[in-house]
Chain A
Amino acid sequence: MVNPDTATKPNAGNSNPAAPDSMEDRRGMNTRKLEVRDLSVHYSGNTVLSEVTLDVWENEIFGIIGPANAGKTSFLKCINRMNTFTDNMEVGGQILFSGMDIHQLKNVYALRSRIGVVFPLPVGLPLTIYENVALAPRLKGISDKTELNIIVERCLTRAALWDEVKDRLNSLGSLLSGGQQQRLTIARALSQDPDLLMLDEFSIAVDPVTTMRIEEVLKELRSEMTIILVTNLVQQARRLADRTAFFLDGKCVEVGETEALFEGNVEDPRTRDYIEGKFG
């Protein structure tokens, strides 16, 4: 289980990811949020992910880069057991979330409520802006209006959307522009007050300025939660991630300190080739 002392400790030592000794520091200080052991995924016989073994630490931003069909999205789906939602998806191996085996859970809904997910394309639920953000707290049983108002304002502010929508919280979320809907999705994920936030190529539908604003928010959130960032922009991984994993053809090629990887300090030459844009 998570030691509360270490779990809530901000990553002060890692604010400069270039510091070469930061990885050792964190291993000493922090606990494992996620332990993935020999994970494999098959869709009706086709292997899309195999032999993935890695750890994600508390309060780090863990980047995952790799070309299309590398199995990045399938990896995320396994973590909150969204695989039960996809037909024919078979998952092998073991995933421990805060030390618990997620395939032994009695209540999968409770697990999902602790994991926030942001999908590649924004999903504004067909509810008002307010209700989009208030849905997760309501599911948890919060019905006090004042409390909900506070949560909605805080989450929208953090997602850099509050100023744009504060006057029309009761209009439909699906009427917002693509970039606004994506920020609404992020606000909704934050409203769950998650331990783990998973972002799957969140910036596809967002303009560059907004992307930078969201990236700033993610850096701040690191002190409160663990973030897994799947991105097809290697520079985004470099800007944000403490450590980065490189996925290729359903395998995790390597995991390393982001800055080290980008400086060419790699175990596998394919990682360097991908980072430098030679393929993918």
Chain B
Amino acid sequence: MERTSPAQPTAAEFDRRNLDWYIDKLVQILVFIGGISAIVFIIGIFAFVTIEGAGFLLDDFSFKEFFLSPFWEPSDEDAPEYGILALVAGTASVTGLAMIVAIPFSLGAAIFIGEFATGRTRESLKVLVELLAAIPSVVWGFIGLTIMNPLIIDLFDVPVGLNVLNAGVILGLMAAPIMTSIAEDALKAVPDRYREAAEALGATQWEVIFKTVLPAAKNGLLGAVLLGVGRGFGETMAVLMATGHSVNIPDSLFDPVRALTATIAAELGETAVGSDHYQVLFTIGIFLFLVTFVINLTADLIVRGIRDQ
């Protein structure tokens, strides 16, 4: 049947691009640029770091010396040595201790906030934890330097208080709030019907948490811990201030160490652009970038895994 009614517009009449259509396209393009730029910047940064470190990587790089030599002597004029083993040991020991400190604190706090606290207590605690996560790292470093340092000297009767213990505790306290926040999200994602079902079986509150909530949230909790590890690995300022900053493979908690990140921060300003030393520091940067990338990616995949279940 042919349309004859004047109220029905023909195809040519209604098929026009009006202002709304153009605004829609414009917004789409703007959002696309915003979204893609984050990825472009990250790739750009990685490319920059790689190019700056490329000279050393291609010419003088020796896997054995770089990863297995404990000697970091970049300013030796005759035979500079670029071994990062001690630096890796420094970073690993501090991060490891930090996790030992942070995991009980953050999981405990998350369980309390998510499962026991109610109403006002819960809301104020959550805000407080978010605030703690926002303390700048230099402030933590300052606390390490001025509070922890004399405290460790007094308590353990050691000559210097800037060491693995100091940096580990500071870094642990620093990572705990963000870990708490993510772990609490993971607990909140566990549906209430699980808790009700377990309670109906006669489980006590602790049994409900331990046998039902924690198993259900385990991926999210693991993700929280891994993000904490990533944070510890990449942290610079607090670690620079609290470790003592001396190249050393530690064999006790009271040995000063030096971290990978702190080395870059402290030395990059003093090197000649393009020199070997400069390029080695960028190589460390590539290494750090890869490690944190892998840790964060794993954490992200794990957290995503629970969401899809």
Contacts and interface: CB of A to CB of B under 8 A. Distances in A.
Contacts of A174: 309
B196 interface: yes
Nearest to B205: A109
Contacts of A189: 200-201
Contacts of A135: 198, 201, 203, 211
Contacts of B198: 125, 135
A77 to B, nearest CB: 9
B204 A109 contact: yes
B215 A115 contact: no
Contact of A192 (B193, B199, B202): B202
Given A135-B211, A139-B207, A126 B201 contact: no
Contact of B196 (A82, A109, A113, A192): A82
A119 B193 contact: yes
A192 B215 contact: no
B215 A127 contact: yes
A110 B198 CA distance: 13
Contacts of B197: 117, 119, 123, 125, 185, 188
Contacts of B201: 112-113, 135-136, 139, 188-189, 192
A112 B193 contact: no
Nearest to A118: B200
A117 B200 contact: yes
Given A135-B198, A185-B197, A126 B215 contact: yes
Nearest to A138: B211
B194 interface: yes
A85 interface: yes
B195 interface: yes
Interface residues of B, number: 19
Given A119-B193, A126-B194, A139-B207, A82 B212 contact: no
B203 A123 contact: no
A80 interface: yes
A115 B202 CA distance: 8
A80 B194 CA distance: 16
A174 B118 CA distance: 29
Give the interface residue-count category, chain A.
Answer: 20 to 34
A19 to B, nearest CB: 34
Interface in B96-133: 118
Interface string A97-135: 000000000000111111111010101011100000001
A125 B195 CA distance: 9
Given A119-B193, A119-B197, A139 B203 contact: yes
Contacts of A117: 197, 200
Nearest to B217: A126
Interface string A175-202: 0000000000100110010000000000
Contacts of A121: 193
Interface string B189-229: 00001111111111110010001100110000000000000
Interface in A157-178: 174
A192 to B, nearest CB: 6
A115 B200 contact: yes
Contacts of B203: 109, 135, 139
Interface string A55-77: 00000000000000000000000
Interface of B: 118, 193-204, 207, 211-212, 215-216, 309
Nearest 7 A-B pairs (CB), nearest first? Answer: A113-B202, A117-B200, A112-B202, A123-B197, A126-B216, A136-B201, A123-B193
29 contacts: A82-B199, A82-B200, A85-B195, A109-B202, A109-B204, A110-B202, A111-B202, A112-B199, A112-B202, A113-B201, A117-B197, A117-B200, A123-B194, A123-B196, A123-B197, A125-B194, A126-B194, A126-B216, A127-B211, A135-B201, A135-B203, A139-B201, A139-B203, A139-B211, A140-B202, A174-B309, A188-B197, A188-B201, A192-B201
Interface of A: 80, 82, 85, 87, 109-117, 119, 121, 123, 125-127, 135-136, 139-140, 174, 185, 188-189, 192
